[in-house]
Structure 1
Amino acid sequence: MNRKKHAAILRSTRKIHRLMGIFLAVLFLIMAVTGLLLGWKKHSYGIMLPKSEKGISTNIEEWMPLDSLHSIATKTLHENVDSNLSLKLDRIDARPDKGMMKFVFEEGYHEIQLDATTGEVLSIDRRISDLIEEIHDGSIVDDWLNIKNGAFKVFYNTLMGLSLFLFVITGVWLWVGPKFMKRAK
């Protein structure tokens, strides 16, 4: 390949790299910051992720029935947080090693931790880490636009993955290309 062709490829690569950088800089920044925060969530001293409390018994045979614990959690949410919040659950997290269950509600990222044996409320808190995760993976847009199948999340992650891949390829070529041209000279 001659020098002019190498120079043209290098110019094209530089242009693609620059245009991608301008277009994707904000998205890369958001993904980087939220990724960093998610990496630290368990070490945030309860700021992003509530500390998992301990119940009195780790013996599952002594635990209350799930429907009873669920009733306590929903009643606690409405009485102590907001009576207008939806009771729709995102998930129930059983922690046998801690003798407790977490009830995580979809609306507002609220979590109620209960002693699985007595039903005592151990913690009422918000899971900021869930919000950060939704921003990080793009699913927050699916929620805002009420997209049921997560189409935006798939599009966003595909765009970001392919863009990062192209960024690396064009960046490597911008670094190696001039050396290659010098050697070919």
Structure 2
Amino acid sequence: MSKAVKLYQISRKVHKWAELILSVVFMFVALTGLLLIFYTPLGLGTPLKTGTKADLSQSVTIDKVVSITTSQGLPGVTSIEDIFRIEWTPSENVYRVRLANNQEVQIDASTGEVLSTKPDYTGLLISLHDGYFFGNWYRYSALTLAGVSLILLSFSGYCMVGYPLYKRLMARKNEKNLRFSDQNVH
């Protein structure tokens, strides 16, 4: 059996088993990615409000943002430890405070007015999508294997498509060479 045929057979086996084993991880990452793309229309996130336009020097301090957030009476929110992330969006002049309990508080960066307090699942979706939710064991084992497998799947797929094309091209080339040599003999 030629090396090319062996490579083709090995490529098919690698492709099949890698896909079967890791398709669960690929599907999970794809599903959470789609949910992140369409999170606002699906009601999983809160659209960003618009704050009052003002100079940066008039912005509410982060200490004040924490104080405003913890004073909203939201369940499970009593201190800075309950805050997952604070984002500032300059174009809208809004602080978006994402809480550990999948809540979100939007605060006008100039006035300190609370613009919105609603559930927001984007933080959960992001942590599921990037593997942070499951811990480092998942991120550094399952997602690493998924990435390496995607490379192997791509390579084995190229081999499965490329090998038959290569064989056809070689057969045509040999056929043309035979015809050319037959014409020169006569």
TM-score range, shorter chain: 0.7 to 0.9
**Correspondent of 1:93 among 82, 87, 96:** 87
Give the number of equivalent residue pairs. Answer: 170
Change (3 A) 1:183 1:60: closer
Say if 2:159 is the partner of 1:163.
no
Q: Which aligned pairs between 1:1-185 and structure 2 lie closer than 5 A? A: 4-41=2-39, 44-45=40-41, 47-76=43-72, 79=73, 81-83=74-76, 87-88=80-81, 89-105=83-99, 107-142=100-135, 150-184=136-170
Aligned partner of residue 57 in structure 2, secondary structure: helix
Aligned partner of residue 54 in structure 1, secondary structure: coil
Question: Which one-letter code corresponds to 1:11 in the other structure?
Answer: Q
Percent pairwise identity = 26
TM-score (norm 2): 0.77
Counterpart-to-counterpart distance in 1, 2:37 and 2:163: 35
Question: Which one-letter code corresponds to 2:115 in the other structure?
Answer: L
Higher mean C-alpha deviation, range 67-76 or range 53-62: 53-62
Aligned partner of residue 93 in structure 1, secondary structure: strand
Aligned partner of residue 101 in structure 2, secondary structure: helix
Larger radius of gyration: 2
Offset at 1:86? 6.7
Question: Which one-letter code corresponds to 1:50 in the other structure?
Answer: T
Runs (5+) with no aligned partner, structure 2: 172-186
Give the root-mean-square deviation of aligned CA atoms. 2.4
- TM-superposition CA deviations, 1:63-86 (whole Å, max 9, x none): 33321221110121xx1x314677
TM-score (norm 1): 0.78
Counterpart-to-counterpart distance in 2, 1:108 and 1:119: 22
Runs (5+) with no aligned partner, structure 1: 143-149
